[in-house]
Amino acid sequence: MPANLFPAPVEIFRFLPEIILALGGTLIMVLEALTGDRQPKNALGHVSLAALFAALVAAVAVHGSPGPAFSSMLLVDGFATFFRVVVIAVGILTVFSSYRYLSREGANTGEYYALVLFSVAGQGVMVTANELIMIFIGLEISSIATYVMAGLLRDDARANESALKYFLLGSFATAFLLYGIAFLYGATGTTNLTAIRETVLRADGPSPLLLGLAAALMLVGFGFKISSAPFQMWAPDVYQGAPTPVTAFMSAGPKAAAFAIFLRVFVTIFEPIGDRWEPIIWVFALASMTIGNFAALTQSNVKRMLAYSSIAHAGYVLVALCARSDIGTAAAMFYLAAYALMNVGAFAVVAYICGKGEKYVGIDDLAGLGSRRPAVAAALTIFLCSLIGVPLTGGFFGKFYIFKAALESKLIWLTVLGLLNSAVAAYYYLRMLVVMYMREPGEATENLEPLPAGLRTALFTSAAGVLLLGIFPSRILEFAVQSAKLFGR
Amino acid sequence: MPEGYLPLFLFLIVAMIFPVVALGFAKLLRPSLPSGAKLEAYECGIKAASNARGRYTVRFYIVAILFVIFDVETIFLFPWAVRNQALGWFGVAEIAVFLLILIVGYVWAYRKGAFEWV
């Protein structure tokens, strides 16, 4: 019996990206502890980059041998690979945009980079998990690391507020999720998603009432994690108070991973009771879009505005979930990839502008960026156009596929209301563009330092990614459609 | 199914009523003569030295966290020790990985000065 317990080499190989990330994080902590303050500048950050790139290569390589691992607790499929690449890419961009910010704030510590790696490892576990307990553990690994990252600047009252709110509400939401998992286990007698699906599809399966209760509780948990209305209250405060690179990270990586498990759980096991949750998701989607966009209209702080915009974007992805079709799942995947890139990029620009102590985070502080730093302004223009959904950017095709999927599923009203929402959203994104190009430089843009190399890499990589998704979307979309078709079967 | 829970439900109601009735009657019947001696520790208890809500150093948190970590480590070692013969080298390898992770944590905590008192 112990011999069977030991996993086959191929199973360990399928878990390789997460192993690399966890070992890398541990290595950074040991290195920092052993060398004290004597390591060369940014060395630990470079170690974390090396680990992330190795994990990225591993994630792509692992795609060559798909299948379950560790008694089917993990499942490597196209869906898992897609999201693994997205969360690791978010980690890489975050590290690139953190160097300058952290040294400016005097917090350039190894722990930060180790926490990024641990969080990404947790997200990797989430997106590959095929088992409710693994989903929960992955979510906790990712969340706890992110809570600490939010409170990284210990002397900053806003960062403390952000970390505490994020921690309390996040834990509260996780409790809901766990309660839902408990009910699901009670109803089906297993925590494996494939086995649960088989039980649910049987004629003498669990009672719809118990399944519905489990789905409702898990919906609350996921709703918090993806900051969808009516569980969005924490997002603006947390995003505003956290250090900007951390905000970039948590608005993209953990959110994409939370959406991944949301999709996996609801599309695989709650599909048979889809008629009952579809109206709820319908309301959630509309409420998220409307509340996010209308609240963003009145914001004067860029980070807060982007926080509301991220609530609205969660609403768009929920439209795709509401469609309950393969093409809807694929559209959600595509949108999340585009969203992660454009959001990290936009926050990276804020991390560049904001100055020591995040003095300049108002929309007015962008004034004159177009004449002072044309390249940065051009990159921000690309991100904002993508967030609006202008053609030739990833955001356009993301929205296009989502609303196409919604129309194919006869969600006509939701499509109409979603498109109207996009028009509202255009106003506040365009206002940033106007301030950036048509106003005289202010205090913030007059004294900008030269663009640091790390930030430059982050900005131009994400801008290139957004354009790539917008000009050649077909290969990524094809991959997403193929993964969605195989999903949960 | 619900009828099986009926005795439990009745028990719950009785359990809720009982303390209310007992304490209520006691309050009606007993004389009320509070005195300082009645608030002191009973017979073998230790005499209170100071207010329980005094302030103490925040380092106790770190000590407590470290204690919990290594306490849990021991809890995991016991079942392995009991089944050592059956698990063989597989068990040794698994527990070695587990201990290695903890030792790394120990080194980190030590180098970060978590064990230095003031």
Q: For chain B, what are the domain ranges?
A: 59-111
- Are A386 and A346 in contact, with CB atoms under 8 Å apart? no
Which residues of A fall within a CB distance of 8 Å from B101? 26
pLDDT at residue A6 is higher than 80: no
pLDDT tens, residue by residue, A357-401: 888 888 888 888 888 889 999 999 999 999 999 988 999 999 999
The DSSP letter of residue B40 is S
Task: Give the integer Cα–Cα distance in Å for B33 and A128.
Answer: 68
Tell me which residue in B87, B91, B111 faces A33 most closely, judged by beta carbons: B111
Note the pTM of the prediction, 2 decimals.
0.88
State residue B1's pLDDT score.
Answer: 53
Task: Give the integer Cα–Cα distance in Å for A105 and A444.
Answer: 17
Of the listed ranges A30-39, A390-399, B8-17, the one predicted with least confidence:
A30-39
pLDDT tens, residue by residue, A63-83: 988 888 888 889 998 999 999
Inspect the interface and report whether the beta carbons of B112 and A33 lie closer than 8 Å.
yes
Confidence of residue B118 (pLDDT cuts 50, 70, 90): low
State residue A489's pLDDT score.
Answer: 54
Task: Please give the ipTM for the structure prediction.
Answer: 0.70
pLDDT tens, residue by residue, A254-263: 999 999 999 9
Question: What is the sign, positive or negative, of the torsion defined by CA atoms of A13, A14, A20, A25?
Answer: negative
pLDDT tens, residue by residue, B27-69: 999 888 888 878 877 778 787 778 878 887 877 888 888 888 8
Which residues of B fall within a CB distance of 8 Å from A3? 90
Tokens in use for A165?
Answer: 């709110």
Of residues A54 and A111, more confidently modeled: A54
Tell me which residue in A3, A6, A30 faces B107 most closely, judged by beta carbons: A30
Confidence of residue A182 (pLDDT cuts 50, 70, 90): very high
State residue A2's pLDDT score.
Answer: 45
If we measure between CA atoms, which residue out of A119, A121, A105 comes closest to residue A148? Answer: A119
State residue A448's pLDDT score.
Answer: 84
Task: Give the integer Cα–Cα distance in Å for A398 and A402.
Answer: 6
Confidence of residue A1 (pLDDT cuts 50, 70, 90): very low
Inspect the interface and report whether the beta carbons of B108 and A33 lie closer than 8 Å.
yes
pLDDT at residue B19 is higher than 90: yes
Mean pLDDT of A204-223: 89
Tell me which residue in B86, B91, B104 faces A30 most closely, judged by beta carbons: B104
Highest-confidence range of A68-77, A344-353, B78-87, by mean pLDDT? A344-353
Inspect the interface and report whether the beta carbons of B107 and A2 lie closer than 8 Å.
no
Q: How many CB pairs under 8 A join A and B?
A: 23
- Are A120 and A95 in contact, with CB atoms under 8 Å apart? no
Task: Give the integer Cα–Cα distance in Å for A242 and B80.
Answer: 43
Contacts of A355 (CB under 8 A, 6+ apart): A104, A444, A447
Mean pLDDT of B62-82: 87
B65 to chain A nearest CA, in Å?
Answer: 16
pLDDT tens, residue by residue, A94-142: 999 998 888 888 887 888 999 999 999 999 999 999 999 999 999 999 9
Which residues of A fall within a CB distance of 8 Å from B107? 30, 33-34
Tokens in use for B111?
Answer: 């180098």
Which residues of B fall within a CB distance of 8 Å from A34? 107, 111
Q: Which run of H or of E encompasses A68?
A: strand A67-69
If we measure between CA atoms, which residue out of A252, A202, A245 comes closest to residue A227? Answer: A252
Question: What is the separation of C-alpha A331 from the centre of its chain, rounded to a whole number of angstroms?
Answer: 15
Mean pLDDT of A207-218: 89
Cis peptide leading into A452, omega within 30 of 0?
A: no
Confidence of residue A38 (pLDDT cuts 50, 70, 90): confident
- Are A253 and A87 in contact, with CB atoms under 8 Å apart? yes
Is B114 in CB contact (< 8 Å) with chain A? Answer: no
Mean pLDDT of A207-214: 87
